[in-house]
Amino acid sequence: MYERHHYINGSDVEGASGRFGPIFNPSTGEQQGKVSLASKSEVETCIAAAQAAFPGWSATSVVKRARVLQNLVQLLYRDKDKLAEALASEHGKVFSDAQGDVQRGLEVAEFAQGIPHLLKGEFSDNVSGSIDMYSMRKPLGVVAGITPFNFPAMIPLWMSCMAIACGNTFVLKPSEKDPSTPLMFGELWKEAGLPVGVFNVINGDKEAVDTVCTDPRVKAVSFVGSTPIAQYVYSTATAHGKRCQAMGGAKNHMIIMPDADLDQVADALVGAAYGSAGERCMAISVAVPVGKQVADKMVDMLKPRVEALKVGHSMDMEAEMGPLVTADHLAKVRGYLDLAEKEGADVVVDGRDFKYSMQGYENGYYLGGSLFDNVKPEMRTYREEIFGPTLQIVRAETFDDAIRLPSEHEFGNGTSIFTRDGDTARAYVNNVEVGMVGVNVPIPVPLAFHTFGGWKSSAFGDINQHGMEGVRFYTKTKTVTSRWPTGIRSGAEFVIPTLNS
């Protein structure tokens, strides 16, 4: 059984609190390790290391920062499979999906290599009376990221790469369920040439989160997780004067119009709903076919596909879906499936009875894919995020009925529409009250050079993840107005300068 500690000032640091959290292998159901859970004083030590490193790193030229990012990108490519294997063994997602987790984070590192260009300010020459005006983007200081279990590579890289490229120092508090991959990033940053103390990892639970959110040395907090915790982090951090972006839960709808290619839709739905066992904030969990004929045909097409899903352990190269992350989460998802049936939804495919019989994996946290039809908007299982391998079908009579469902839902993270009609697609894109929209794309996660973020209860804060929004979040603007002595008239001036000055 292995132990995972903290990464502070470029070194592995054993925990001193005496508290540990278990690390399970979801594929077997067995505990394979334990992780130190930091005390308040240990988090403060980690923040102090980041604070001490800030003056030197913030003064480092943007070209040198970019070169560190370039080195990191090469190292991530080199160790991509090693990172994915560690990730899969603790999270449970299948190896190919774990590789994708690393790749999408790596792409943000690639984007951050362009920081010399991204940080360019604005300049206005001779705005008035030999006065020049220009703006600069300056780093904030110590910033922190609090990341979830479902993307232990992608989201820490989203946050840390943009923050560090902008000249900040970084404290990462990853999920205690799968801490190995985030800790591996520490050594990769060091090998890339990052000075010690710029990137730190502190493992912990609520005590660590509360310390990060209240310590005055931390200037900004980025969070991804469930909506209740996102709301808590946002309110706590902002109450203590910090900039905060907190991404929460989701209930993502796919609208299926009568003219859509239903074979394409069925394949897209299976991948978007059941990939990573549904443990994605961008998973499609609600299908909205428009019209009875489309709905009936959609159910007939989905049923055999869901029944044929290949469920296996995380390193089964033929598996399409692995186990859920913990026994507690498995029980929670099963509870939602029980509730859906009690609420009156029609069970088309029931994944609750799935048994994985491969020797050595019988006790893993497995659940088969489930499909429910005739789900109603008033049902609790529709209103809440299930975060498991289940797809709910909510039938709509018209396009207007369909667009109201995601627009009126509490969450507003992602949505998709499948149609061959450009007018319909354009109307949907322009009018749906959701932050990220796909047209004939099942999971509309923006690439690194655009921005990621939902609306309503899916996101708290005004600035989104990565892209230019990431640069804005991790910097503050300084505007300079300058005039040199030549030609300056003598005498006091008592009025505010204007364009006529």
Which residues make Cβ contacts (< 8 Å) with residue 66, sequence separation at least 6? 113, 114, 115, 116, 165
For the chain, give percent helix, strand, coil, nearest 5: 40, 25, 40
**Active-site residue, 281 included:** yes
Pick from 382, 372, 388: which is nearest to 322 by CA?
A: 388
Inter-CA distances, 111 with 107, 116, 118, 398, 467, Å: 6, 11, 9, 41, 8
Per-residue DSSP letter, 498: -
With 0-12 CB in 10 A as exposed, 13-18 as middle and 19+ as buried, what is 455? middle
Report the run of H or E that residue 7 belongs to, with start and end: strand 6-8
C-alpha to C-alpha distance for 390 and 154, rounded to whole angstroms: 23
Which residue from 459, 443, 444, 374 is spatially nearest to 410, judged by alpha carbons?
459
CA distance 256 to 424: 11
Contact 321, 274 (CB under 8 A): yes
Cα distance between residue 66 and residue 128, in whole Å? 36
Give the separation between CA 7 and CA 189, rounded to whole angstroms: 11
Catalytic choice (166, 213, 244, 281) = 281
What 3-state class would DSSP assign to 37? Answer: coil
Token digits for 485? 């002595």
Tokens representing 429 are 């894109």
Distance CA 418, CA 293 (A): 16
Measure CA 4 to chain center: 23
Instruction: List the catalytic residues.
Output: 281
